[in-house]
């Protein structure tokens, strides 16, 4: 908790005010200190340079020795003069003649350089240019700062005027004492600055806290208001601007509490109504952007409320291409929205009404969505069914009427024509009877009144039995209209499945009849039987014209025919596959078709299957 308070303290206005004050103080001290230290450094360096200057009499003595012809004697005198000069700041003094030869050095450990040519470029430049050269250097080897001075030495004639350069005096002085003093003063100044800054920061925090305490209390009160707690009041310390602000916040707290209670009551009533509605409700602002959407509408639109709110109602309802917001405002007619997709069928009725103030200003729209998918589907199925039944019955009834009228007109007396007319009349009557029976069968399946007699059957033997009947029909017919061959590809394992034998035999008969009807003369109908982990799969393949891809999803619809003229000519009712689908679904299975146009079709039936061993079957029989 303490860590949390400390963390928040650095974000408070108290700390910020104190920090600004401390930074201003620090900047001021740093500017003053920088100027002070710079001036101090400049002054100390100037004093240091003056302190390391070689006296004039020494310069004259050295110049005089450089004019002596006896070099050895002169070098000895130069050495004596340099050794007699004592200055603790000077590290080394060298005397170099005008030819660049070192004639003397004050460094007792480096006397070997006397008589050698100097390699110092600055010394050579001073001799060549005949001028004084000074500079400050930094030695990286010993981290020392040095002052170097190269002063020309001149010989004097009898009149006392300088006439000729005889050499230079090289002086190197250590500036350690100068910067040591400056560093000590800087250290004292830094410590004093830190102490002053800390004291100033403490005083600034105290003053800032006195100023910001009312602001802190007002902040806490506004936070309580935001959380819904309106009981607290802000303490008024004075009548200045902060005091007036505190009074305004107290008044605001009372007003917000009253408004919040009224709004919350209205919101609860509205939420209760919207959440219990079976219809979708969408409300928008005057620009058509959604502000309210209930759960039912979100489900219809397949959108979350968070994603829908703020979006245009034209985009959510997917009507932007057909309608504008002005169209919805000026004309609140009912709209039919078809939002069906591959995953679901959805048809909605959309009712629009205006949200209008007393002044007439339109502040938004309300859209009520009613799901009419099932109603539309039922209406379409009813219309389609009535149309199909009417169409299917009209053809045989027209034929019956024509033949009956012909017989009534005297054709019954013709022994050659009358039998043919009666045969066609009988076939069309039989066809209508089959159609009515199949319709009644479908009706019983739809209502759930069909009786199912389930029994455990060896599906291998049953399927073989059905196929044997079709082989037998071909053998008994001496002059068949079409030759065909039935090819069997069965698993060798006996498969026992619980089914209604009669109804499933009807399914196999329907599919086999279709396969033979639509196979070409001499075609092969391939029948397969295999098992999976928990399914028995039956497939029947023909070599007919196949089914167009667009019609595959409608093959099992009632009265649907791929080739209507050919199917009706062959006596089909258009209900066989529909009945087959209903039967298979009652048995807990599934039926589907796969077809390539021009190459044939394959119908598949899958039935639930649990493997049984022969011993298990005998045990069950013995227990019975």
**Phi and psi at residue 151, to the nearest 5°:** -115, 130
Candidates 474, 490, 493, 471; CA nearest to 482 is 474
Rounded CA gap, 167 and 99, in Å? 8
**Cα 212-213-215 angle, rounded to 5 deg:** 65
In terms of Cβ atoms closer than 10 Å to its own Cβ (0-12, 13-18, 19+), residue 475 is exposed
Cβ-based neighbours of 528, under 8 Å, separated by 6 or more: 488, 489, 490, 537, 538, 539, 540, 541
| Token pair recorded at residue 233 | 């009041």
**pLDDT score, position 12:** 72
| Token pair recorded at residue 239 | 């009548």
| Token pair recorded at residue 345 | 């069928």
Bridge partners of 590? Answer: 606
Cβ(342)–Cβ(329) below 8 Å:
no
Candidates 500, 515, 516, 519; CA nearest to 607 is 500
Candidates 122, 128, 130; CA nearest to 94 is 122
Find the helix packing angle between 501-518 and 576-586, rounded to 10°: 140
* pLDDT per residue as tens digits for the range 439-477: 666 666 666 666 778 889 899 999 998 888 888 877 766
**Phi and psi at residue 325, to the nearest 5°:** -65, -35
- Angular region, 606: left φ>0, alpha ψ -120 to 50, beta rest: beta
| Token pair recorded at residue 473 | 């029909």
First-to-final CA distance of the chain? 78
Candidates 443, 444, 442, 458; CA nearest to 607 is 458
**pLDDT score, position 417:** 73
Residue ranges in the chain modelled with pLDDT below 50: 1-5, 7, 158-159, 162, 565-571, 618-624
Cβ-based neighbours of 434, under 8 Å, separated by 6 or more: 573
Half-sphere exposure (Cβ direction) of 205: Cα atoms closer than 13 Å: 10
Cβ(541)–Cβ(601) below 8 Å:
yes
Q: What sign for the dihedral angle of Cα 532, 536, 541, 547?
A: negative
**pLDDT score, position 604:** 93
How many other β-carbons are positioned within 10 Å of the β-carbon of residue 179?
16
**Residue 274, helix vs strand vs coil:** helix
Rounded CA gap, 479 and 559, in Å? 31
Bridge partners of 165? Answer: 154
Predicted TM-score of the model (pTM): 0.40
């Amino acid at each position: 908790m303490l860590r949390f308070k400390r963390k928040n303290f650095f974000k408070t206005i108290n700390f910020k005010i104190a920090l600004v004050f401390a930074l201003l103080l620090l900047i001021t001290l740093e500017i003053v200190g920088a100027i002070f230290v710079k001036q101090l450094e400049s002054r100390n360096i100037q004093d240091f340079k003056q302190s390391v200057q070689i006296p004039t009499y020494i310069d004259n003595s050295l110049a005089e020795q450089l004019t002596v012809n006896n070099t050895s004697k002169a070098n000895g005198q130069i050495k004596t003069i340099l050794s007699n000069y004592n200055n603790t700041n000077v590290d080394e003094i060298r005397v170099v003649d005008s030819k660049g030869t070192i004639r003397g050095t004050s460094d007792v450990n480096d006397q070997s350089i006397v008589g050698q040519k100097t390699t110092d470029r600055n010394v050579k430049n001073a001799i060549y240019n005949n001028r004084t050269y000074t500079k400050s250097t930094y030695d990286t080897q010993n981290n020392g700062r040095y002052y170097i001075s190269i002063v020309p030495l001149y010989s004097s004639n009898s009149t006392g005027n300088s006439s000729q350069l005889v050499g230079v005096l090289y002086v190197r002085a250590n500036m350690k004492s100068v910067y040591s003093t400056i560093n000590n003063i800087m250290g004292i100044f830094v410590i004093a600055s830190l102490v002053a800054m800390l004291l100033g920061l403490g005083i600034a925090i105290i003053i800032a806290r006195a100023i910001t305490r009312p602001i802190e209390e007002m902040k806490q009160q506004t936070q309580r208001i935001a959380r819904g707690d309106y009981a607290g009041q802000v303490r008024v310390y004075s009548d200045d601007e902060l005091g007036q602000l505190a009074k305004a916040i107290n008044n605001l707290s009372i007003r917000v509490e009253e408004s919040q209670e009224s709004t919350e009551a209205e919101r609860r009533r509205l939420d209760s109504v919207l959440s219990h509605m079976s219809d979708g409700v969408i409300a928008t602002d005057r620009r058509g952007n959604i502000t309210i959407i209930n759960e039912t509408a979100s489900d219809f639109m397949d959108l979350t409320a968070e994603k829908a709110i703020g979006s245009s109602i034209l985009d959510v309802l997917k009507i932007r291409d057909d309608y504008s917001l002005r169209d919805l405002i000026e004309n609140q007619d009912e709209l039919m929205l078809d939002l069906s997709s591959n995953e679901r069928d959805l048809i909605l009725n959309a009712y629009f009404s205006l949200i209008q103030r007393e002044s007439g200003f339109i502040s938004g729209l309300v859209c009520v969505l009613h799901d009419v998918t099932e109603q539309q589907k039922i209406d379409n199925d009813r219309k389609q069914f009535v149309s199909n039944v009417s169409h299917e019955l009209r053809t045989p009834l027209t034929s019956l009427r024509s033949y009956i009228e012909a017989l009534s007109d005297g054709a019954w007396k013709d022994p050659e024509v009358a039998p043919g007319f009666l045969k066609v009349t009988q076939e069309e009557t039989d066809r209508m009877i089959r159609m009515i029976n199949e319709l009644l069968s479908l009706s019983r399946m739809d209502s759930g009144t069909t009786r199912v007699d389930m029994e455990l059957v060896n599906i291998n033997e049953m399927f073989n039995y059905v196929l044997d009947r079709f082989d037998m029909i071909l053998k008994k017919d001496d002059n068949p209209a079409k030759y065909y061959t039935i090819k069997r590809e069965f698993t060798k394992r006996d498969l026992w499945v619980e089914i209604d034998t009669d109804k499933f035999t009807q399914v196999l008969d329907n599919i086999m009849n279709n396969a033979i009807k639509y196979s070409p003369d001499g075609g092969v109908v391939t029948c397969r039987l295999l098992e999976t982990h928990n399914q028995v799969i039956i497939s029947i393949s023909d070599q007919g014209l196949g089914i167009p891809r667009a019609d595959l999803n409608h093959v099992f619809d009632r009265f649907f025919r791929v080739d209507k003229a050919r199917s009706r000519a062959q006596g089909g009712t258009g209900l066989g596959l529909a009945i087959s689908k209903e039967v298979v679904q009652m048995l807990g299975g599934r039926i589907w078709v796969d077809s390539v146009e021009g190459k044939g079709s394959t119908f598949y039936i899958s039935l639930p299957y649990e493997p049984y061993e022969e011993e298990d079957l005998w045990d069950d029989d013995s227990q019975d």
